[in-house]
Amino acid sequence: MRFFAGRRRLSADGEVVVGHHNSNHILPLGRPLAYLLGMDSGQMRANFRVPLETVEAVPRLWRESEVLRVVSERMDDVPRCLWDFGDWSVHAYVAGRSLSEETGREPVGEERITRLARFFARLADVPADALPPRPSDWPDSGDSQAFLHRLAAYTEHQVHRRNRPRFGALFKALEIPSGMVDDFLRSRPELTRRPFTLLHTDVHRSNVIVTPTEDGERLSVLDWELCLYGDPLHDLATHVVRMGYSDTERKLATERWAEAMERAGHTALTAGLDRDLDTYLGFEYVQSVFPDVMRAALALPDEPDTEDVVTAAHQVRRALHRAWEWLTPESDPVDEATAVRALREWHAMDSAARPVPEEDRKRPGGRRSRGGNGWCPGADQPRGVRRGLSTGRGPGPRPGPPTGTEPLESLESLERHVC
């Protein structure tokens, strides 16, 4: 299985879609692999999915395949994981266009917002005992305050402190206050207790696929690797922020979410909605400062020009402004000139400390992270499509050799045997 799947993944056919967390090679399975997977046709398209080394901003509780095994049994518009090899996987392909391609930054529309609200209600239908095991110290269902503090601790220890050796000088130059996540939490009231549910935590326009149907369209949600078990208001908050809703559509999305939960018999999940959603929205903006700043810095090419640095500075200042509204609304973050200077100085220092080998600069699909942490595909830039794949030297580990007790004489002999 690994042999044929790996051979297909490195094929020059199909297209490559690069997102924040994965590189996805989309192409037909081919007859030998389809036979092994029990599929009717080798023309069935699949998604050969390879994780990318990137800036981690949220905790990972389970493997994506573990979650998909549960939800795909209960939700027919969720892509199945066909096989998980550990370091990469093969998924059923969902035909259609992403919502970001359909709408850009324009309004999503009332009907689609209503359908997405129903999606969250169906997530709440997934029983907790059907989910994969959680760590023994994971907060108990209903302890929303402990759940939020768990997220905050991850931000402080695994995102902020873990990256200070490389980015600390940049954080200081941008005047990002130490302990700002804790400062934010201390400024907020205690959360209402709400039952926990399965959370997707990453429902944004690029992760929603629109597929035309006879009676309209179907919306399918992809990318389940960041799922959590916790307070459903966290899922709603990350959704409305990352969708880029206008104020009008954000209000509509919140109302439809509450209505969908009540209709599905989950009224308890809406307790304290009006007050607590604000806390989760503020937390989303505050915690995102660290990953957004690091991603903007990593996006700088090896020899950035003025436009490159100014673009990165705009991204940095946007993240700072959104956080400052919740931290110190009476003051402003650093100006553009300071952000540009901070990024230039960091880039020069980082380049000098960790030079990029010439062979890495020529690698397709991304550039080598100078921190030694593997691939940074365009420094976590938004999802894009690249037609074809001319080489097997793209990001992610190569597939290993076939397993078995007898040596493989040749690919052709194995193909004849399987077919």
Alpha helices in 126-246 (DSSP H): 144-154, 162-173, 180-186, 232-242
pLDDT at 45 over 70: yes
* Chain segment 146-177, per-residue pLDDT in tens: 999 999 999 999 999 999 999 999 999 999 99
Pick the CATH number of 55-353 from 3.90.1200.10, 3.90.45.10, 3.30.413.10, 3.30.450.20: 3.90.1200.10
Q: Kindly state the average pLDDT of the residues 387-407.
A: 35
* Chain segment 50-101, per-residue pLDDT in tens: 988 777 778 899 999 999 999 999 998 898 999 999 989 999 999 999 999 9
List the domain boundaries for the chain: 55-353
pLDDT band for 102, please (50, 70, 90 cuts).
Answer: very high
pLDDT at position 408 is: 35
pLDDT band for 402, please (50, 70, 90 cuts).
Answer: very low
pLDDT at position 417 is: 40
* Chain segment 345-362, per-residue pLDDT in tens: 999 999 988 755 665 555
Predicted structure pTM score: 0.83
Alpha helices in 155-224 (DSSP H): 162-173, 180-186
- Lowest average pLDDT, out of 90-99, 115-124, 229-238, 400-409, goes to 400-409
pLDDT at 416 over 80: no
pLDDT at position 115 is: 97
Which residues neighbour 272 within 8 Å (Cβ) at sequence distance 6 or greater?
A: 191, 192, 194, 233
Closest by alpha carbon to 258, among 129, 124, 69, 75? 124
Percent of the chain at pLDDT exceeding 70: 84
pLDDT at 307 over 90: yes
pLDDT at 344 over 80: yes
**Rounded to an integer, what distance in angstroms lies between the CA atom of residue 296 and that of residue 223?**
23
pLDDT band for 393, please (50, 70, 90 cuts).
Answer: very low
40-44, 48-52, 211-215, 255-259 — which one is most confidently predicted on average?
255-259
pLDDT at position 356 is: 55
pLDDT at 419 over 60: no
* Chain segment 192-244, per-residue pLDDT in tens: 999 999 999 999 999 999 999 998 999 999 999 999 999 999 999 999 999 99
What six digits make up the tokens of 320? 């700072």
**Rounded to an integer, what distance in angstroms lies between the CA atom of residue 326 and that of residue 159?**
20
Q: Please, what is the average pLDDT of the chain?
A: 85
More confident residue, 415 or 127: 127
Report phi then psi at 310, rounded to 5.
-65, -40
pLDDT at 263 over 70: yes
More confident residue, 313 or 16: 313
* Chain segment 275-286, per-residue pLDDT in tens: 999 999 999 999
Strand 216-221 versus strand 208-213 pairing type: antiparallel
